[in-house]
Chains A and B, each alone.
Chain A
Amino acid sequence: MTDPFENLFAEARIEAVRQIQPPGAVAAHQVVRRRRTVGLAAVALAVLVVAGGSTLLAQQRSAAPAPASTRSVDDGLPGIARGKLAKGGPAIEAADPVTAGYSRQYATYVGNLTFELACAGKGRITLVIEGIPNKETGESAPVEQARATAVCSADPARSAVRFSASKAISYLVVRLADGTDAIGHAGFAYRLTSDAGVLMKPDDKRADPGAVLPTTGEAVEAKSDLMWVHPIDLHMTELPRLTPGTYQLAAACGGSGVATIQVRSGNRVLVNHDVPCQWQPKRADIAVGVADSSVSTWVAFRTPAGNTAPARIAWAWIRA
């Protein structure tokens, strides 16, 4: 006897395969290469830390004085550099002499981040912003997020770089990657701001679109997990069966850009609604009449040019 499910699954397979767009074997090779590089970098870093620690210990034991060059920096140079950067608003700010091994650690923040740098004095410096992966990733090696270079001068110019911290990062480290000729001869200042307006850590409730959606007190029939979406992402969620009737689809988006929420029943589009993404996310309510139980919710995300930060979207179906 013919199994009726054979055909059903075979047809579903054919149709589904048509929609699948493999990232490609080349992408897999790139990922594996990157992971190997990061692994090797971690080993190299560990060796450097051990070697550096031994050297430091030896220096302390011999009570050697600090290199004269680090003491000859004009204390005013960092201040000059700081004067070239923007002012006001919530920001991470630092102004220091250029010293070997300079490194500072900060929290990571949501949104598009701007890192401004200026350097007063002589030489040239490069600061690298690295992310330390959170424990959930199972990775430990720092991952470069951005870097900025500045030529040190008596009248420094401001340079700026825009980036967004990967979600896998638990904190950021600003480190002097290059600046040998500026050590002892220059001072620098930097400033980190977010287009979110305020500096919000990823776990900040103000940045969480799910926090503005109902949890109790309303008849929530289905709810999404918090979704991180990038400009080229498209998310589709097939809902659990909904009883036909009238619903409110509550949605919120944290970020920059516009999230388009589309509700479909099969190939029929029931609703196509733009939800503005903003910091901090606000709830939008969309009325949806559901006549057919097989409803799916799609989310697409458009973003202004230059935006690299993902948006965070959440939605909930509420029985009206």
Chain B
Amino acid sequence: MTTIAEPGALPAVHRDQLSFDEVYAAHYADLTVQLYAYCGDRQEAQDLVQEAFCRALSRWRTVAEYEDPIAWIRRVAWNLAVSGWRRRRTALGFLSRQRREEPAQEGPGPDRVALFAALAALPAPQRRALVLHYLADLSVAEIAERESVPTGTVKSWLSRGRTALAEEVRRD
């Protein structure tokens, strides 16, 4: 569980950096898994989440004051995922970014491939609802608020999504 340092506990600059770094360390991987499950491309997911964190950092004093800063970052990352940013990103300057060398031989395990492939076959709202529920641990009410739909709609997405997912996974 990440906590944001209380105001006054540390000098302002140090406090801001520490808070951001803590939030980053605690949530980067989880958020990336969610986006990966949604868009099916790990590198893309990493880029989306990194961009969301960069945007949060550029206004960190404000974001850190929010009740749930990670909700703001998650929303930005998801908005980027469904917006044209992913397409535009391919035109952006990769040269200036530093990526670590990744192991070329390590592939995803068969279970994850099956699950993510099954997710990819679902309509976007159902996929989003399942990912937010199972990977972001959001409640039905939280998903409904985030998606600006009634809770009944989210329950329906989850129910249909589970049925379709079970069908897809069984096929594998």
Chain A residues within 8 Å of B, Cβ to Cβ: 4-6, 8-13, 15-17, 19-25, 27-29, 31-32, 34-36, 134, 136-137, 143, 164, 166-169, 225-228, 230, 232-238, 240-241, 260, 264, 266-267, 293-294, 296, 298, 300, 308, 310
Q: Which single member of A4, A21, A137 contacts B100 (CB below 8 Å)? A: A21
Which single residue of chain B is at the shortest CB-CB distance from A145?
B95
Considering residues A4, A12, A29, which has the most beta carbons from chain B within 10 angstroms of its beta carbon? A12
Chain B contact-residue range equals 35 or more
CA distance A217 to B11 in the complex (A): 67
CA distance A31 to B47 in the complex (A): 13
Residues of A within 8 A of B110 (CB): 266-267, 294
Residues of B within 8 A of A260 (CB): 104
Residues of A within 8 A of B53 (CB): 25, 28
User: Which among B34-42, B62-70, B148-156 touches the partner chain?
Assistant: B34-42
Contact A25 B20 (CB under 8 A): yes
Q: Which single member of B30, B46, B115 contacts A9 (CB below 8 Å)? A: B115
B3 interface residue, CB < 8 Å from A? no
- 3 A-B pairs with least C-beta separation: A266-B110, A166-B93, A9-B134
CA distance A264 to B29 in the complex (A): 24
CA distance A136 to B32 in the complex (A): 24
Q: Which single member of A19, A241, A308 contacts B117 (CB below 8 Å)? A: A241
Contact A5 B33 (CB under 8 A): no
Contact B95 A238 (CB under 8 A): no
Contacts A12-B116, A134-B91 known; list 5 others, CB within 8 Å. Answer: A9-B134, A13-B135, A16-B37, A235-B43, A237-B40
Contact A266 B113 (CB under 8 A): yes
Q: Which single member of B90, B107, B121 contacts A241 (CB below 8 Å)? A: B121
B108 interface residue, CB < 8 Å from A? yes
Residues of B within 8 A of A296 (CB): 107-108, 113
Contact A234 B104 (CB under 8 A): yes
Residues of A within 8 A of B50 (CB): 22-23, 27-28
A12/B112 contact (C-beta < 8 A), A232-B99, A266-B107 known:
yes
Q: Mark B112-153, 1 if CB is under 8 A from A, else 0.
A: 111111001100000000100011000000000000000000
Residues of B within 8 A of A11 (CB): 111-112
Q: Mark B77-100, 1 if CB is under 8 A from A, else 0.
A: 000000000001011111111111
The distance from the CB of A227 to the nearest CB of chain B, in whole angstroms, is: 8
Residues of A within 8 A of B102 (CB): 21, 232, 234
